[in-house]
Structure 1
């Protein structure tokens, strides 16, 4: 009997025993820092001369691991293996596929602090953020396994006398999973197992900045009993391996999480029918956001300020759901702004190995440079109130930054920065605040802080985002509770952790039999 889905609890780090357990997890990770990891193709480990070097963004001199790097020839080999394996995996029962996910969830749960500690080291996540990342990964495993059991028999359709009709779901084929570094465990695991439990085989190409946690997850799936060839681990260059697989005629679907620019490029390339291709490829894309918290004059102002700070600076603002824009009705603008500045000054910036750290590093030098460039733009467009400085001598640290008095069309208010920077703008009333909130090309998350029921209802109707939150921050969607995905240039509104997500990895088949 499969128990009903409930979310994986977050760890209470105020308890000493949990602190000690996490420190033990860090020791485990430190014991294997600098090791090498192979590709996995058809269950075989493949070593290559070229390596992806994974380093700690909080300490550039600390090597997390050396990961073999796939090329086109190895990508082709993996494709052929996945294509052949699909013929047997697609006929494996839904119960057997789901059971592998449940076993994998149990393995990760036993090693939860180790995986969290690995995210601290490889992704630069503070303790709480890392713990939530791994918990979400466990949630995806548990939730998608249960969803597949619900879908395995299809849905009822009508029958005529003497006729039996069925409406069932069958898997698509070989999927290419291109996962991001910001939720290096949760999104990587979730997108991978959604495809697998639906009966597809996959080629996993994780982000080059966080390939070790993906390699460790592949080991978990093998331990859980996943047959060889279902999950093939092929980290490599996006320009070489990524493009090759997106274009490949045997690729049936691409599941991508990352930037708008790369997502658009994948969407365009996938639309072309290549020689030997007999289907239209499906693209599942989550591409980022420019997310707004709106505060009206009847809001609880302390809640508003806390929500903005937590949503803007959690994981250094490196979430597609992060609050990068605060639109405040003019009556309370100064009060909210001043309180946000106070709270921001209290945040602890530093190495996420330390439990007290709230703001750790950004992911790499390129991200650091981009964020610092945007801060310079922000100084010209508005008023810098706090932050604005960085230090990349040892790691890639950017101090949480608040820029006020911005024009709604300013670059700081329109372009995705993906760092610890939040811009403030003033609205004359709630109607204008919603207009400003909708004035970007994105539509991922948003929040409204208000005690005015008419304003809340207006936001539900008119705030054009995939995930709208009332009287809370705009980050932290929970699998099965707040299915996640956005509109417009935020992607294909593929609701991860939702009841229809697995259907994106399957196609419907009608069978009618006369008797």
Structure 2
């Protein structure tokens, strides 16, 4: 086994150690005895250096044309594409998802960069008729300035890039704080920005504890906007802190996503999509299926098919081609999932399958849990209300689609939801009545195309949207111009 590499902060175009020289190890969740690499345990002083670099470079970056900024993003995309296997391998080692999923996510990052590179040549305003016939009135857009980017560990390439790319193309500079669990992957991505020759200070990365670097970004007077993805508890802290000092903020805070299976559904399709949406990436997606709401007419048949398919899932190291589901991303996440399984049992749900850690020789050193299915779940139970972020499905039996919709909406979240039905009236009722930012018909709850707006309702977001052309609304401010000769 090769000696783990130490990775540095990226500040003002240079790789730098933290001033306190302390390190954080990144642990392989498939083998807790393997250290993937070390990253900096940074201080507020390190963050200040990064913010200063971002602030000083922003004026020059803003003055570059959108086309030139786009050329840099194209170059970054090319470098990531060239290193796709290496980045995907590191991602699998750091957070456990299968290599196939990791490579697909990295390819998505490439596509996002190219999409936003093209944004540099699209319109950023409109001409508006004035009541003064001798005047010209129009809108343009101004960047926020310095943007703090705080990202989670579950999509360590796609989520940072879908925040960083629009921030940069619209003329902002960035200070990026990745999750500790996947900071090595983040460093590999930032290496590609460096290799692409992006000007010093335009993008900066500082690793470290959320309580220090994350809170430092929230509080920093020279950070003009914060885009965050993570838990709703932390998201509220971000929003309150940003609001207190007048910074713009954007929050994506997870979900408790339902799939409704109507009596007329294609059951094979519904079962496959439930498993894919709920258990891929070990259920560690904000759009993952968590509640499976099934009409009583087909409940038993659906349950039988679901259990049969779940029993076929191969759990193991994500670098093994035969593996379908990898480990939880960390020991902490494993313990969280196990605590919810215990809570499900305590509150009277019936455990149909799974619910235990894997004790097999090749798996006992990793953070593996069996895919888990509960039934006899009521909407008031903890496992039907709180985000588990693990491979746990809660089956809820209902009489009608109307009841299914009521159950689906009976949570504080509203990120993603799907229904399986062949009835157009069911589809229309679902579209109109579901409290969800992402609505999918006859498709799994997880996933959204990069050119489409993404975000949730209720406590799933700050009611803003990421991705696609909607991103311009957060990363810029409208400037109305009135010209009279």
For the aligned pair, the TM-score class normalised by the smaller chain equals: over 0.9
Q: 2:435 aligns with which of 455, 458, 464?
A: 464
TM-score calculated relative to the size of structure 2: 0.96
Within-5 A mapping of 1:314-353: 314-353=280-319
TM-score calculated relative to the size of structure 1: 0.90
In 2, Cα distance between equivalents of 1:508 and 1:490: 26
Q: Which residue of 2 aligns with 1:8?
A: none
In 1, Cα distance between equivalents of 2:43 and 2:383: 38
- Would you say 1:510 and 2:476 are equivalent positions? no
In 2, Cα distance between equivalents of 1:224 and 1:46: 19
In 2, Cα distance between equivalents of 1:123 and 1:79: 28
Q: CA deviation at 1:162?
A: 2.4
- Would you say 1:496 and 2:466 are equivalent positions? yes
Q: CA deviation at 1:483?
A: 2.8
Within-5 A mapping of 1:310-459: 310-380=276-346, 381-391=348-358, 393-459=364-430
Q: CA deviation at 1:164?
A: 2.0
Q: Which runs of 4+ in 1 moved over 6 A?
A: none
In 2, Cα distance between equivalents of 1:243 and 1:496: 22
Once the two structures are superposed, residues 280-325 of structure 1 have per-residue CA deviations (whole angstroms, 9 ceiling, x without a partner) of 2111111000000001101111111111111110000000000010
**Count of residue correspondences:** 477
Q: Which residue of 2 aligns with 1:42?
A: 12
Q: CA deviation at 1:485?
A: 1.3
Q: 1:150 aligns with which of 122, 147, 159?
A: 122
- Would you say 1:474 and 2:448 are equivalent positions? no
In 1, Cα distance between equivalents of 2:255 and 2:179: 19
In 2, Cα distance between equivalents of 1:147 and 1:157: 22
Within-5 A mapping of 1:80-95: 80-95=52-67
Q: CA deviation at 1:42?
A: 1.0
Q: Which residue of 1 aligns with 2:70?
A: 98
Q: Which residue of 1 aligns with 2:153?
A: 181
C-alpha contact (below 8 Å) 1:479/1:496 kept by paired residues = no
In 1, Cα distance between equivalents of 2:298 and 2:463: 33
In 2, Cα distance between equivalents of 1:435 and 1:372: 28
Within-5 A mapping of 1:238-253: 238-253=210-225
Q: Alpha carbons of 1:342 and 1:327: their partners in 2 closer, same or farther (altered >3 Å)? A: same
In 1, Cα distance between equivalents of 2:335 and 2:40: 27
In 2, Cα distance between equivalents of 1:121 and 1:272: 39
Deviates further, 448-457 or 185-194:
185-194
In 1, Cα distance between equivalents of 2:98 and 2:312: 16
In 2, Cα distance between equivalents of 1:128 and 1:502: 31
- Would you say 1:114 and 2:91 are equivalent positions? no
In 2, Cα distance between equivalents of 1:147 and 1:458: 35
Q: 1:297 aligns with which of 250, 254, 263?
A: 263
Q: CA deviation at 1:44?
A: 2.3
In 1, Cα distance between equivalents of 2:449 and 2:70: 20
Q: Which residue of 2 aligns with 1:67?
A: 39
C-alpha contact (below 8 Å) 2:119/2:169 kept by paired residues = no
In 1, Cα distance between equivalents of 2:179 and 2:173: 19
In 1, Cα distance between equivalents of 2:82 and 2:216: 37
C-alpha contact (below 8 Å) 2:453/2:470 kept by paired residues = no
C-alpha contact (below 8 Å) 2:371/2:391 kept by paired residues = yes
Once the two structures are superposed, residues 196-216 of structure 1 have per-residue CA deviations (whole angstroms, 9 ceiling, x without a partner) of 111111110000000011111
Once the two structures are superposed, residues 459-501 of structure 1 have per-residue CA deviations (whole angstroms, 9 ceiling, x without a partner) of 0100111111100111121211x43211111112433322211
Q: CA deviation at 1:390?
A: 0.7
C-alpha contact (below 8 Å) 2:39/2:184 kept by paired residues = yes
Deviates further, 383-392 or 331-340:
383-392
Once the two structures are superposed, residues 132-161 of structure 1 have per-residue CA deviations (whole angstroms, 9 ceiling, x without a partner) of 211221121011222232134x22222443
Q: Which residue of 1 aligns with 2:142?
A: 170
Once the two structures are superposed, residues 153-190 of structure 1 have per-residue CA deviations (whole angstroms, 9 ceiling, x without a partner) of x2222244322222101101111100111001110122
C-alpha contact (below 8 Å) 2:149/2:228 kept by paired residues = yes
Once the two structures are superposed, residues 17-60 of structure 1 have per-residue CA deviations (whole angstroms, 9 ceiling, x without a partner) of xxxxxxxxxxxxx87x6111111111122113111211211011
Q: CA deviation at 1:222?
A: 1.5
Q: CA deviation at 1:416?
A: 0.4
Q: Any stretches of 5+ residues in structure 1 without a counterpart?
A: 1-29, 274-279
| SS of residue paired to 2:64 | coil
| SS of residue paired to 1:305 | helix
Q: Which residue of 1 aligns with 2:111?
A: 139
Q: CA deviation at 1:357?
A: 0.7
Q: CA deviation at 1:69?
A: 2.2
| SS of residue paired to 1:136 | helix
In 2, Cα distance between equivalents of 1:128 and 1:156: 47
